[in-house]
Amino acid sequence: MIAGTLTSRALTQAYLDRIAAVDDSGPQLNAVLDLNPAALKEAEARDAERKTGQSRGPLHGIPVLIKDNIDVGGMINSAGSLAIADNRPKADAYLIRRLRESGVVILGRTNLSEWANFRSNNSTSGWSSRGGQTKNPHVLDRNPCGSSAGSAVAAAASLAPVAVGTETDGSIICPASVNGVVGLKPTVGLVSRRGIIPISATQDTAGPIGRTVADVAALLGGMAGVDDRDPAGRSAAGKVLPDYTKFLDRNALNGQRIGVFRRTAGMPADVDAAIKTAVAAMQKAGATIVDVQMPTYGQWNGAEFDVMLYEFKDGLNNYLAASNSAQKSLAAVMAFNRANAARVMPFFGQDIFEQAQAKGPLTDAAYVKAKATAAQLAGTDGLLAAIARDKLSAIITPSTGPAWVIDAKRGDRGGSIGGYGPAAVAGTPSINIPIGESGRLPFGLTFMGPPFSEPQLIGMAYALEQLTNARRPPRFLPTLER
């Protein structure tokens, strides 16, 4: 586009054609939920600016897909739920405003695990009542993980250059891993959450997903920004950088001390072998590798879940009360679901909703205690203690095992969970990169660091990405031989 040999309009049209050929037809990935009817006009406007010598930066004219739980003015924002399919926000979320200022073209909305996988303990990742089931592009009968299923699948299948996802605990890292792409979960507060359908004010964040670390770094620069109206936003003051691509350094691993958290329970041998290969590559590149222990690992699970139940009820009630949806509360959504159970709950119920509805206000002593306990066990005594104890730049861990077979009746029962949880609960950054395959199914490795260490994580992840070159394009296989 800088050279004048490609226009944003031509690029946007090419992705619209790709979506029609691969998402709507062919393998029918079902990753894109809605297209932006103004996408081509937005692209033409960016082209017109470029012709007059105006460029808003590296994202100028780049088409981006947005997860369907983030407000985009005039488009449906439903969290995948038929209950609030009438919700058309008038204004953009803060992060969408930032992206528009950076010159992106909003291409459309991606499907997700309904309510960001916070409706039932028996849910199937990548399924929503409004969008149906999203498929893993590598092997179509395999699960794409969630909740940012559509965003990760779209990036993997080249339905857009980059996409925006959200995470509370694993919802960027897991789908990025099993779809073989890069996903970055920022420090909570670096990217505004205002205008995102919430789960947890403590842990929620939006983040970039793309095929390479460079693409993700570029998108992060457009998304990040201090929002004083976000409760966590002020913590990012002085920490937001305009350009994260300047940290893409092939030599970034040299001289670093990196911990390895070998969370491999239930992982296939292929994952362990790939981690060993990655460790050897990092050592050859000049990194010192230290095995780390985290004695508090997983001890925060009960407290974390209680925090999410309390904060989901409070946050959703506040969001819906100000929304354009007819449903103005969690209780109203639950009543809609019961009245439309055949369409909304054909496979699993709303047991998490019921638990959340039973919780009291955020002044409850039980909530205050749970929040402090989770932060202590995951952060102060967990990830941050391990980093400080061994003077580490970052900790790496397997992200997940390979994708499991989609099973709507049994839900998510076959996945292997990696060790990314401490960063999610502590609110610190993490980034997944593809690291290998098991039976043609990709999986990734996650770097975790202290708060606002995105520049360092991007550098190290980029360096390892260049050394391993592990990402493979999807093959759209119907199934694997058993």
How far apart (Å, rounded) are the C-alpha atoms in residues 146 and 271? 20
Residue 73: DSSP 8-state: T
**E strand or H helix that includes residue 29:** none
Nearest to residue 169, comparing CAs of 244, 231, 124, 117?
117
**E strand or H helix that includes residue 171:** none
Locate 146 and state its tokens.
């969630």
C-beta of residue 177 within 8 angstroms of C-beta of residue 400: yes
How far apart (Å, rounded) are the C-alpha atoms in residues 81 and 19? 22
C-beta of residue 169 within 8 angstroms of C-beta of residue 134: no
How far apart (Å, rounded) are the C-alpha atoms in residues 227 and 233? 5
* Cis amide bond preceding 113, omega within 30: no
How far apart (Å, rounded) are the C-alpha atoms in residues 145 and 329? 28
Residue 380: DSSP 8-state: I
Q: How far is CA 240 from the centre of its chain?
A: 19
How far apart (Å, rounded) are the C-alpha atoms in residues 201 and 312? 8
How far apart (Å, rounded) are the C-alpha atoms in residues 226 and 71? 18
**Residue 391 zone, left/alpha/beta (φ > 0; ψ -120 to 50; rest):** left
How far apart (Å, rounded) are the C-alpha atoms in residues 438 and 61? 37
How far apart (Å, rounded) are the C-alpha atoms in residues 473 and 116? 26
C-beta of residue 29 within 8 angstroms of C-beta of residue 22: yes
Q: How far apart are the first and last CA of the chain?
A: 46
Nearest to residue 279, comparing CAs of 289, 270, 267, 268?
289
Radius of gyration of the chain (CA): 21
Report residue 460: phi and psi, to 5°. Answer: -65, -40
Return the active site residues.
67, 147, 171
Q: How far is CA 410 from the centre of its chain?
A: 24
Q: In what order do the strands lie in the sheet with 205-210?
A: 32-35, 105-110, 63-67, 162-167, 205-210, 182-185, 430-438, 441-448, 394-398, 257-260, 288-291
Residue 40: CB atoms within 10 A of its CB come to 16
